[in-house]
Structure 1
Amino acid sequence: MSTSRVGFRFFQNTRAAFRDAYAPFRRPGAQGRRFQSTEAGETAQQQSYFQRMWNSPVGFKTVHFWAPVMKWGLVLSGVADFARPAEKLSLTQNGALMATGAIWTRWCLIIKPRNVALAAVNFFLGCVGVVQCSRIFLYQRSQKGSSLEAAKEMEHEVVDPAKKLGKEAEAAVEKK
């Protein structure tokens, strides 16, 4: 006896065991079939678009549909800020938009059900953040005359409020 023959027998036995274990959950008349019957396919084709979206795991009645719809408001407000002068833009706000877009784009492709619509809106949110942060950096560079000075200025704009927030959080934790 070769080891491949033993492995084959093991595979056959476990397959039969799983087939028997899940027998009560199968549709009537679906013994051993892997694909849906034509009857099920016909009913799916008879449903309207609205019915399919209503019953879908990412359909109209779920948060998987409404989250991207509402989040487009953030993207549109960021795009509207393209018309604002760069000196009036907030680096921390646009940095947060950039980070949110990057982090949540990846997360939307990991969760089940995978939400491509939410991944798309987060991708565009990250793009808006990148464009705005680039505008802020270029403006500060033109004011300071040097990229290094502008980068240091931007670092202080982000790091100082973060340190202050961290100290406030530590103080709040120590009070409890």
Structure 2
Amino acid sequence: MSARLGMRFGAAMRQSVRPQMRTTQRRFQSTTATQPEASGLSKFLNSEVGPKTVHFWAPIMKWGLVLAGAADFTRPASQLSLTQNLALMCTGAIWTRWCFVIKPRNLFLASVNFLLFCVGATQVTRVLSYQSELKGQTMGEMAMEKAKEGTEKVEQAAKEPGKVKEAVVGK
């Protein structure tokens, strides 16, 4: 009698599990065959450069540099740093190119780096034109003079390695 009770219980369990397995298999097969197209928001959330990755948050943070550089448009050119804005311009140009080389190609990061280049170039132009007005030179002559000064500092640092700080700072 106890054996029959176990057999009845096993049969009842098999009947309750089998229909679930069949519907699961059918449902799984049907969803893979005709999967509905995802919405634009879900595509963005799950993309390679979406907000779940560093490829999204790095450009967001870099916008701070662009906005800080753009805020300096209101400052007089006499208060701007040529080397700082030249560095912004160069990093913007270098990283814009790099954004098209890396995988996945990140156009959002490329756009922020391009605008960083534009802000830096604008500020460098303002500083050089201000300095050329003070000396009465053209901007091309002024740029050549700044390049020669930089070359002289590098040569001096190469000759006297112990005095690198003095050569760079200009003391």
Q: Give TM-score, length-normalised by structure 1.
A: 0.64
Question: What one-letter code is carried by the residue in structure 2 that aligns with 1:69?
Answer: I
**Number of aligned residues:** 131
1:33 alignment counterpart: none
1:143 alignment counterpart: 134
Q: CA deviation at 1:88?
A: 1.2
Q: Secondary structure at the match of 2:117?
A: helix
Residue 83 of structure 2 corresponds to residue 83 of structure 1: no
2:62 alignment counterpart: 71
- Give me the identity figure in percent: 52
Distance 1:98 1:154 in 2: 16
Q: CA deviation at 1:161?
A: 6.1
Q: Secondary structure at the match of 2:100?
A: helix
Unaligned runs of 5+ in 2: 1-28, 165-171
Q: How does 1:43-122 map to 2 (within 5 A)?
A: 44-45=37-38, 47=39, 49=41, 51-122=42-113
Distance 1:130 1:154 in 2: 16
Distance 2:81 2:149 in 1: 9
RMSD of aligned alpha carbons: 2.8
Question: What one-letter code is carried by the residue in structure 2 that aligns with 1:106?
Answer: R
CA contact (8 A) 1:137 1:154 kept: no
Question: What one-letter code is carried by the residue in structure 2 that aligns with 1:145?
Answer: G
Q: Give TM-score, length-normalised by structure 2.
A: 0.65
Change in 2 beyond 3 A, CA 1:67/1:88: same
Question: What one-letter code is carried by the residue in structure 2 that aligns with 1:154?
Answer: K
CA-to-aligned-CA distance 1:56-82 (integer Å, 9 cap, x gap) = 111111110001100000000000011
CA-to-aligned-CA distance 1:140-167 (integer Å, 9 cap, x gap) = 1100101255224432564466667774
Q: Secondary structure at the match of 1:94?
A: helix
Distance 2:109 2:66 in 1: 12
Question: What one-letter code is carried by the residue in structure 2 that aligns with 1:68?
Answer: P
Distance 1:101 1:89 in 2: 18
Residue 34 of structure 2 corresponds to residue 39 of structure 1: yes
CA contact (8 A) 1:105 1:122 kept: yes
Unaligned runs of 5+ in 1: 1-28, 30-36, 171-176
Residue 154 of structure 2 corresponds to residue 154 of structure 1: no
Distance 1:72 1:123 in 2: 11
Q: Secondary structure at the match of 1:110?
A: coil
Higher-Rg structure is: 2
Q: CA deviation at 1:83?
A: 0.9
